[in-house]
Chain A
Amino acid sequence: MQRSIDLKWAAIALSVALIAYLALVPLGFLLWQSFFTPRSAAKAAELTLENYRIAYASAETARLFLNSLQYAAGSAAFAFTVGALLAWMNERTNTPFKTLFFALALIPLIVPGILFTVSWIFLASPKIGLINLALQWVFSTDQVFVNVYSIWGMIWVDGLHYSPMAFLLMTAAFRSMDPALEESALMSGASVLQTARRVTLKLALPAIVATLLILFVRALESFEVPALLGLPAGIHVFTSSIYQAIHQYPSQIGLACAYGVTLLIITTLGIYFQSRVTGRGSKYSTITGKGFRPRPIDLGKWRYFTAVLFIAYLLLIVVLPFLVLVWSSLQKFYTPPSPGALQNLTLDPYRFVFNHAPLGNSVWNTIVLATGSATVIMLVTSVISWITVKTRMPGRWLLDNLASVPLMFPGIVLGLAMLIFYLNVNIGVYGTLWILFIAYLTRFLPYGMRYNTTSMLQIHKELEESAQMSGASWGTTFRRILLPLLKPGLIAGWIYIVIVSTRELSTSILLYSPGTEVVAIVIWELWENGQYVELSALGVMLIVALFMLVVAAQLLGRRFGLKEA
């Protein structure tokens, strides 16, 4: 009996310590560094406000701020419009091929941002962009029709890439609404428009605002599009400016921190408002009845139009980007498709990739980091979610909040904070794979928490209590009862974390050193070196590998009754 209590408290103490360390230490050092001059061998760090003065006194910062807001708001609005329209078509109308569309529309979520951006450069850059070339050929002019290196190009690419996220969130909103609420408005004599305006829209408002805020914060945090499309065009946003401040010589860590803190404040505000809106919205979902299947709206002939919209969307988001990567990966050097270029198809880029020395190492690093962090996160958060859900321990709300602190960190700001901490506190982590491992643990901890909390809430307290009454210790109960019951959520969360950490670029870009590259970094370096065809070959293989992982997960899920991720 004595031992079991010890084990329980040891597990709790360890989890709490780990969470506090992961979540708070980088945050503290980021704040600290933003008020100090860099420490060097010759000079100790001094307290200063210079970083903020430089950051805020220049007219450049006002531009930066406006650019960031315009980019994030535009991308969020675009992603939302596309995602919400598709969700409505998919949930509430009789458009053909709905189920197939649902599966296909989620593919972009597994494609790394850097690859999606690169493929859109191939499609819509002013010089080599396929869309421009095709339109120029049709109208026989030299005019540039679309330019991806512009604020609108950035909004287009980023908004398109994250529209599946809006699609998922709005689909959930549509599904959670009791259809009887709309039907009773109809029975009251309201027209379809009146019902939409006075009932459906009002009820969906919290979900709409929350979705927009999530998309807005995410766009503020995005790095790939601003770096690849914004920097060449001179359009700077916070994330790309942090990257530049670190990568210029001498690097201006203090300035980067001032930017980082500013960005952190904006994203924190965004997440705060989003959680408030969601909290207020939850009262709307307290009354639910038996879910009678909602009657899909009969679009008549218009359903062919909506089907065409589905197909056009899939072309833009899956087919064209992937095909252009495949095409490019079969060339010696990048040439737009033409009958002449068709003669020069080659597998050289794939040969190059296989013989590229850093690659094998980076694949190994990626696998180790992705599976390692996913495993540790899912196990640790299972204990933490047990504490926050099942116990009445004082201070468990603090633990819950601590575990979601990393959500506020944009990837690049987290990278920056870790960089500062492990440069200042030398425990032999900097420059090794460990720093990336710790970064991934921190960054994806909230995801593990979300998966485990959801499944933990579904486990009735009595299942655990009856194990205790049968004489099982806490450790045994956790291992024999809770973990098996959590399994579907554990596996789903594990796969999700493996996928997102394989795609991860914005944190790793500040933390890698020679020998500890991951695959996303290798792609980044190939891009910097102008090795586009080799990049495409690697990209095609990565997408295929991730796709197979998801398909395998789906098949496994069907066998073990895994719930939708």
Chain B
Amino acid sequence: MLKVEQLCTEYTDERGRVVKAAQDVSFDVPTGKFFTLLGPSGCGKTTTLRSIAGLERPTSGEITVDGALVYSSAGRVFVAPNKRKFGMVFQSYAIWPHMNVFQNAAFPLEVGHAQANRREIRDKVMRVLDTVGLAELADREATALSGGQQQRLALARALVMEPRLLLLDEPLSNLDAKLRERMRFELKRLQNELGITTIYVTHDQSEALALSHEIAVMGEGRIVQIGAPRDIYDRPCNKFVADFVGTTNFIEATVLARENGADEYRLQCAIGELVARSVRPLARGDSALLSIRPEDIELSAHKPHGANVCEGTVQAKVFLGEYLDFEVSVAERVLLARVHPSVDCAVGQRTFLQMRPEKCVAINQS
């Protein structure tokens, strides 16, 4: 459906320096899928989205929607943003303060080329306002809406013209935590129901993991890894992805040997010998970085059976309601373990740690 190929976008900042915001960005989004660009601020995700929208003019590359070019540097094609028929929700929502709710949502139908008559507009607008739950507020001043309502109105405005593509630029970042969680479900439900191809930009990894069919993690203008949420979380391809998506423990290690499993290796590290998986093949003697998620570390008072067991001392314990965080020191390393609150272990007590080999990820460093 959407095909982005080797997209590069640059701009000059106030001091006249050229900023390479997006470099060599390529990805494919099949029809009806929810695709997320995830990354820290300044990684080029918003620039990529704005290039797809046509609000930025890329320096090179190609963007195809439904087989039709909307941008191509080679073919000198640039379709103006108002001709692309994409719906977009901005981070600030960009609700026009001089119009009421209905007028805001009706605007795209009034200005487009295929202009509908009054009744059609009324029907379509009321239907979309109903979908987002704003039908009763149609006559209200747009400035009198709460943050969550503005966000829904922005979504209604983007959906009303039945766009080919829905572009969302951090639409949840201006909401408070509770509302954000609720809107996350709403968004997922709406996208499922309407089956609309959606490109989503966020710096919030839990949003990305919760919503997406596929995630592209970006850093410094480039795509670092593309994959399903589980792939990204369980099998990060490098330190940046492992660090950015979720919380993790990093341990430096050296490869000793290949284990019986196809992608399992035995490694030597500060806390002992461990067995871990690797996405890419490793050779003996390679230096690697182990990434172990805190929730994949199990604590027990008695020594358990199996591989990857070591012994440590509990240094600190934090109760967070849904889970307990332990800081455990093992051979002068401090590991973070996240366990069910029923686990009972006092500070200063000895404890055994076990990490299942398929949950330990070795990242090639050499």
Contact = CB atoms under 8 A, between A and B. Distances in A.
Interface of A: 178, 180-181, 183-192, 194-195, 198-199, 202-203, 283-284, 286-290, 292-293, 295
B335 to A, nearest CB: 37
B244 to A, nearest CB: 20
Contacts of B107: 185, 188, 190, 198
Q: Which of A184, A198, A288 has the most chain B CB within a 10 Å cutoff?
A: A184
Given A188-B161, A189-B112, A190-B111, A183 B96 contact: no
Given A190-B108, A288-B92, 6 more contacts: A180-B94, A186-B55, A186-B82, A187-B88, A189-B85, A287-B143
For the complex of A and B, list the 7 residue pairs with the smallest distance between their C-beta atoms, beginning with the closest: A289-B92, A188-B108, A180-B94, A190-B111, A189-B112, A184-B94, A180-B90
Contact of B93 (A202, A287, A293): A287
Nearest to A178: B92
B161 A203 contact: no
B87 A287 contact: no
17 contacts: A180-B92, A183-B55, A184-B94, A184-B154, A185-B107, A186-B82, A187-B55, A187-B86, A187-B158, A188-B161, A189-B161, A198-B107, A198-B111, A286-B143, A287-B95, A289-B90, A289-B91
Interface string B154-176: 10011001000001000000100
B280 interface: no
B87 A187 contact: yes
Contacts of B167: 187
Contacts of B87: 187
Nearest to B142: A287
Nearest to A288: B92
Contacts of B82: 186-192, 195
A283 B143 contact: yes
A293 B113 CA distance: 29
A199 B96 contact: yes
Contact of A181 (B80, B96, B111, B112): B96
Given A187-B87, A189-B82, A189-B85, A283 B94 contact: no
A484 B111 CA distance: 53
B276 interface: no
A183 B81 contact: yes
Interface string B7-26: 00001011000000000000
Contacts of B150: 287
Interface string B106-131: 01100111000000000000000000
A199 B157 CA distance: 15
A199 B97 CA distance: 10
B92 A189 contact: no
Contact of B90 (A184, A198, A283, A286): A184
Contacts of B98: 202-203, 284
B90 A188 contact: no
A238 to B, nearest CB: 36
Contact of B92 (A198, A290, A295): A290
Contacts of A190: 82, 107-108, 111
Given A180-B90, A185-B111, A188-B111, A286 B97 contact: yes
B199 interface: no
Contacts of B111: 185, 188-191, 194, 198
A539 to B, nearest CB: 36
A292 B42 CA distance: 12
Q: Which of A178, A189, A284 has the most chain B CB within a 10 Å cutoff?
A: A189
A90 to B, nearest CB: 14
A194 B81 CA distance: 14
Contacts of B157: 184, 188
A137 to B, nearest CB: 44
A295 B12 CA distance: 11
A287 B92 contact: yes
A300 to B, nearest CB: 13
Interface string B228-252: 0000000000000000000000000
Nearest to B158: A187
A184 B113 contact: no
Q: Which of A191, A284, A290 has the most chain B CB within a 10 Å cutoff?
A: A290
Q: Which of B107, B158, B167 has the most chain A CB within a 10 Å cutoff?
A: B107
Contacts of B91: 180, 289-290
B56 interface: yes
Nearest to B150: A287
Contacts of B55: 183, 186-187, 295
A283 B92 contact: no
B37 interface: no
A287 B81 contact: no
Interface string B53-89: 1011000000000000000000000001111111110
A194 B80 CA distance: 14
Contacts of B94: 178, 180-181, 183-184, 289
A236 B31 CA distance: 74
B79 to A, nearest CB: 12
Contacts of A286: 97, 143
Q: Which of B81, B150, B161 has the most chain A CB within a 10 Å cutoff?
A: B81
A192 B167 CA distance: 21
A284 B142 CA distance: 10
A371 to B, nearest CB: 35
Nearest to B87: A187
Q: Which of B83, B87, B96 has the most chain A CB within a 10 Å cutoff?
A: B96
B85 A283 contact: no
A283 B108 contact: no
A202 B88 CA distance: 22
Contacts of B92: 178, 180, 287-290
A289 B147 CA distance: 12
Contact of A289 (B81, B83, B88, B93): B93
Contacts of A295: 55-56
